[in-house]
Amino acid sequence: MSDDYNAIAMPVGRLGIIGMAGTEEITAKVDSYLVKRRAQREEETSEHPHFAGYCRDTYKIRAACPRFATGEAKGELKESARGLDLYILVDVFNYSVTYQMYGRQMPMSPDDHFQDLKRVIAAAGEKTKRISVIMPLLYEGRQHKRSTRESLDCALCLQELANMGVQNIITFDAHDPRVQNAIPLKSFESIQPTYQFIKALVNEMPDICLDSDHLMVISPDEGGIGRSMYYSSVLGVQLGMFYKRRDYAVIINGRNPIIAHEFLGNSVEGKDLMIIDDMISTGDSMLDVARQLKDRGAKRIFVCASFGLFTDGLEKFDQAYEEGVFTKVFTTNLTYRSPELKAREWYSSVDMSKFIAYIIDNLNHDYSISAILNPVSRIKKLLNGLDNR
């Protein structure tokens, strides 16, 4: 093999992946895809010295954040990270992870997860070639702008990571991607899972017709109109939107309560609808929107949200499903989903692990990920396949 080896660009460094507490399942899937993907290149890379350690049985690096009885913690790497191009996956909203503090079992909050992430980065120190953080649901992403005398937590989070030496921050469907202006010299990617949702919908509902006569895309609020416009444009279907009338004189649970949802758009009668949003928190506004659409004569309603938090439990969704308010809820596996949620008849999970593996593999070679981030060609191919059925 010659020295000017061009078949595969040399990697930035040996690949390493750390899955923080609560991400074990998706980290294992990402690792498995990477092992299989790189095994196909073994013959091309095995003899070249710059590809030493390129094909391995696993790319996972063991790390831990043990805690003292007081709740204090420290970050530990169980193996060397020297020279690695390191990718750290963290789910800051995984409340199923617990620790002992003064004899009590405490669920980890987003603050706890974020502190543990910084501890692991600090444990790696400057021994790595590069550190990238994959944080699917951005920490404090809803506190992304300042309107009164209040903190700007999301910007502070990004600046802290940048100051600790993190080069790439990868998130999914950021509440407001403009928060990246807080770190203008660092790489920040907010990735939309558009193709994965459309593919999951087609696989789950093989009888669905993705055309303007049978389908319509709905934005549940004015803030998500850009997200829904993309879906409607790439699918070639009509777009509808709700806007929220709020009572700004009252604050309940940190937000102004919604008085009513007002609809803007053409008739939805007899059509299947995709309601597109970034997250389901309590689910109250989503179900209110779905009920209004049903009252207007909608056929089937599919809720597609990148993150399903269900902070008030599942009972209200169970009741709405029994009433025929919606047909299916799709969320990704990028955040924790309780066993009860995964067992629900009305729920379907959208697997993003293979997509993350592709992103990591490309970044490790310093390839552009523009083609991965722009799913139009894949969506068109999927639609053409449906037309030829």
The two structure tokens encoding residue 52: 């030493």
Secondary structure string (H, E, C) spanning the chain: CCCCCCCCCCCCCEEEEEECCCCHHHHHHHHHHHHHHHHCCHHHHCCCHHHCCCCCCCCECCEECCECCCCCECCEECCCCCCEEEEEECCCCCCCCEEEECCEEEECCHHHHHHHHHHHHHHHCCCCCEEEEECCCCCCCCCCCCCCCCCCHHHHHHHHHHHCCEEEEEEECCCCHHHHHHCCCCEEEEECCHHHHHHHHHHHCCCCCCCCCCEEEEECCHHHHHHHHHHHHHHCCEEEEEEEEECCCCCECCECCEEEEEEECCCCCCCEEEEEEEEECCCHHHHHHHHHHHHCCCCCEEEEEEEECCCCCCHHHHHHHHCCCCCEEEEECCCCCCHHHHCCCCEEEECCHHHHHHHHHHHHCCCCCHHHHCCHHHHHHHHHHHHCC
pLDDT at 388 over 70: no
User: How many Å apart are CA 109 and CA 91, to the nearest integer?
Assistant: 10
pLDDT at 369 over 90: no
pLDDT at 248 over 70: no
Q: What's the pLDDT score for residue 82?
A: 93
Q: What's the pLDDT score for residue 165?
A: 95
Taking only Cα atoms into account, the Rg of the chain, rounded to an integer number of angstroms, comes to 22
Q: What's the pLDDT score for residue 1?
A: 33
pLDDT at 386 over 80: no
User: How many Å apart are CA 380 and CA 387, to the nearest integer?
Assistant: 10
Q: At what angle do helices 353-364 and 24-39 cross, to 10 degrees?
A: 60
What does pLDDT average to over the chain? 91
Query: Which distant-in-sequence residues (6+ apart) come within 8 Å of 216 by Cβ?
Result: 232, 237, 238, 239, 240, 265, 266, 268, 271, 272, 273, 274
Q: What's the pLDDT score for residue 51?
A: 85
pLDDT at 263 over 90: no
Closest CA to 317 of 290, 348, 287: 287
Measure Cα distances from 176 to 46, 140, 172, 216, 376 in Å: 43, 11, 11, 24, 22
Residues 156-200: pLDDT tens digits? 999 999 999 999 999 999 988 899 999 999 999 999 999 999 999
Residues 279-295: pLDDT tens digits? 999 999 899 999 999 99
Angle, alpha carbons 317-319-325 (nearest 5°) = 75
Q: What's the pLDDT score for residue 148?
A: 81
Residues 8-59: pLDDT tens digits? 788 999 999 999 999 999 999 999 999 999 999 888 887 777 788 899 999 9
Burial class (CB in 10 A: 0-12, 13-18, 19+), 375: buried
Residues 207-238: pLDDT tens digits? 999 999 999 999 998 888 999 999 999 999 99
Residues 98-151: pLDDT tens digits? 999 999 999 999 999 999 999 999 999 889 999 999 999 999 998 877 878 889
Q: At what angle do helices 225-235 and 194-204 cross, to 10 degrees?
A: 60
Q: What's the pLDDT score for residue 384?
A: 85
Quick check: 195 and 350 in contact, CB under 8 A?
no
Closest CA to 334 of 369, 372, 305, 363: 305
Closest CA to 305 of 273, 350, 336, 339: 350
Q: What's the pLDDT score for residue 131?
A: 97
pLDDT at 152 over 80: yes
Q: What's the pLDDT score for residue 137?
A: 96
Q: What's the pLDDT score for residue 4?
A: 39
User: How many Å apart are CA 57 and CA 2, to the nearest integer?
Assistant: 27
Burial class (CB in 10 A: 0-12, 13-18, 19+), 131: buried
